[in-house]
Structure 1
Amino acid sequence: MFQKRPFIALAALLFIHILAHIDRNMLLGFSPQVIADLGLSNAQYGFLVGAVWVLSFGVMAVFLGTLADRFSRTRVIAGGLLVWSACTAASGFAQNFEQMAAARFLVSSGEAALVPAAVAMLGELFSEKRRGTAIGVFFMGIPAGIGFSFLLAGTFGATHGWRSTFQMLGVVGVLIAVSLAFVKEERKSAGAQQRGAPFFTQVRSALRVLGGNPALLAVIGGFVLVHMVFAGLSFAQLWLVRERGFDAANIARTIGMLQLIFGTLGSVAGGVMGDRLARRMPGGHVGFMVLLVAICGPLMIAYRFAPPSSALFYVGMCAGFFLPLALYGPTNTVILSQAPVHMRATISGFSMLLINVFAITIGNLAVGMISDRLARSGTSAPLTFALLGTDVLAIMSALCFLVAARIGPRTDTAPGQAGPVASQHHA
Structure 2
Amino acid sequence: MSQSEASVPDAAGRAPPGQGVGRRAWIALGSLWFIYVLNFLDRQLLSILAKPIQDSLNITDSQLGLLGGLYFAMFYCFIAIPVGWLADRTNRVRVLAIACGIWSAATIACGLSRSYAQLAVARMTVGFGEAGGVPPSYAIIADYFPPHRRGMALGLYNLGPPIGAALGIAFGASIAAAFSWRDAFLVVGAVGIVAAIAVVFVVREPRRGGLDGLAVGTVQPKAGFGETLKMFFTSPVLLLASFGSGATQFITYGLGNFATLFLMREKGMALADVAVWYALVVGVGMSAGIFCSGWAIDRFTRRSKRAYGLVPAISLILAIPFYCAFVWAPTWPLALVFLTAPTFLNYFYLSSSVALVQAEVRPNQRVMSGALLLLMMNFIGLGLGPTYVGAASDVFRASHPDHSLQMALYTLVPFYVLAIGLFFWLARVLGRRAKTEIVQ
TM-score scaled to structure 1, two decimals? 0.80
In terms of mean alpha carbon deviation, does 117-126 or 370-379 score higher?
A: 370-379
Q: What is the Cα deviation at residue 411 of structure 1?
A: 11
**Mapped pair 1:399 → 2:421:** yes
Alignment map for 1:4-403 (pairs within 5 Å): 5-31=24-50, 39-42=57-60, 47-155=66-174, 161-182=180-201, 183-189=203-209, 193-197=220-224, 202=225, 204-230=226-252, 231-236=254-259, 246-249=267-270, 252=274, 254-280=277-303, 283-301=306-324, 303=326, 316-370=338-392, 386-403=408-425
Is the CA contact 1:215–1:407 (under 8 Å) kept in the aligned structure 2?
yes
Please tell me the residue identity of whatever aligns with 2:154.
I
Is the CA contact 1:227–1:394 (under 8 Å) kept in the aligned structure 2?
no
Q: What is the Cα deviation at residue 266 of structure 1?
A: 0.9
Aligned residues with identical type, % of pairs: 26
Is the CA contact 2:290–2:348 (under 8 Å) kept in the aligned structure 1?
yes
Is the CA contact 2:247–2:418 (under 8 Å) kept in the aligned structure 1?
yes
Q: What is the Cα deviation at residue 293 of structure 1?
A: 2.5
Unpaired runs of 5+ residues, structure 1, are 414-419, 421-427
In terms of mean alpha carbon deviation, does 110-119 or 273-282 score higher?
A: 273-282
Q: What is the Cα deviation at residue 139 of structure 1?
A: 1.6
Q: Closer, same or farther in 2 for the Cα pair 1:129/1:175, shift >3 Å?
A: same
Q: Closer, same or farther in 2 for the Cα pair 1:127/1:262, shift >3 Å?
A: same
**Cα distance in 2 for residues equivalent to 1:13 and 1:238:** 31
Is the CA contact 1:275–1:330 (under 8 Å) kept in the aligned structure 2?
no
Q: What is the Cα deviation at residue 177 of structure 1?
A: 1.7
**Cα distance in 1 for residues equivalent to 2:136 and 2:102:** 16
Please tell me the residue identity of whatever aligns with 2:342.
G
Please tell me the residue identity of whatever aligns with 1:41.
I
Q: Closer, same or farther in 2 for the Cα pair 1:374/1:36, shift >3 Å?
A: closer
Q: Closer, same or farther in 2 for the Cα pair 1:280/1:92, shift >3 Å?
A: same
Is the CA contact 1:227–1:360 (under 8 Å) kept in the aligned structure 2?
yes
Is the CA contact 1:20–1:111 (under 8 Å) kept in the aligned structure 2?
yes
**Cα distance in 2 for residues equivalent to 1:121 and 1:23:** 22
Please tell me the residue identity of whatever aligns with 2:310.
G
Q: Closer, same or farther in 2 for the Cα pair 1:133/1:159, shift >3 Å?
A: same
Q: Closer, same or farther in 2 for the Cα pair 1:20/1:306, shift >3 Å?
A: closer
**Cα distance in 1 for residues equivalent to 2:165 and 2:433:** 31
Q: What is the Cα deviation at residue 105 of structure 1?
A: 2.2
Q: What is the Cα deviation at residue 157 of structure 1?
A: 5.9
Please tell me the residue identity of whatever aligns with 2:206.
E
**Cα distance in 2 for residues equivalent to 1:152 and 1:241:** 17
Is the CA contact 1:284–1:410 (under 8 Å) kept in the aligned structure 2?
no
Q: Closer, same or farther in 2 for the Cα pair 1:308/1:279, shift >3 Å?
A: farther
Q: What is the Cα deviation at residue 74 of structure 1?
A: 0.6
**Cα distance in 2 for residues equivalent to 1:167 and 1:240:** 25
**Cα distance in 2 for residues equivalent to 1:410 and 1:257:** 42
**Cα distance in 1 for residues equivalent to 2:400 and 2:333:** 28
Is the CA contact 1:226–1:395 (under 8 Å) kept in the aligned structure 2?
no
**Cα distance in 1 for residues equivalent to 2:183 and 2:230:** 48
**Cα distance in 1 for residues equivalent to 2:120 and 2:88:** 30
Q: SS state of the match for residue 408, structure 1?
A: helix
Q: What is the Cα deviation at residue 341 of structure 1?
A: 2.0
Is the CA contact 1:54–1:361 (under 8 Å) kept in the aligned structure 2?
yes
Is the CA contact 2:208–2:364 (under 8 Å) kept in the aligned structure 1?
no
Please tell me the residue identity of whatever aligns with 1:221.
F
**Cα distance in 2 for residues equivalent to 1:85 and 1:172:** 8
Q: What is the Cα deviation at residue 181 of structure 1?
A: 2.9
User: 2:214 maps to which residue?
Assistant: none
Is the CA contact 1:29–1:153 (under 8 Å) kept in the aligned structure 2?
yes
**Cα distance in 1 for residues equivalent to 2:428 and 2:368:** 25
The number of equivalent residue pairs is: 405
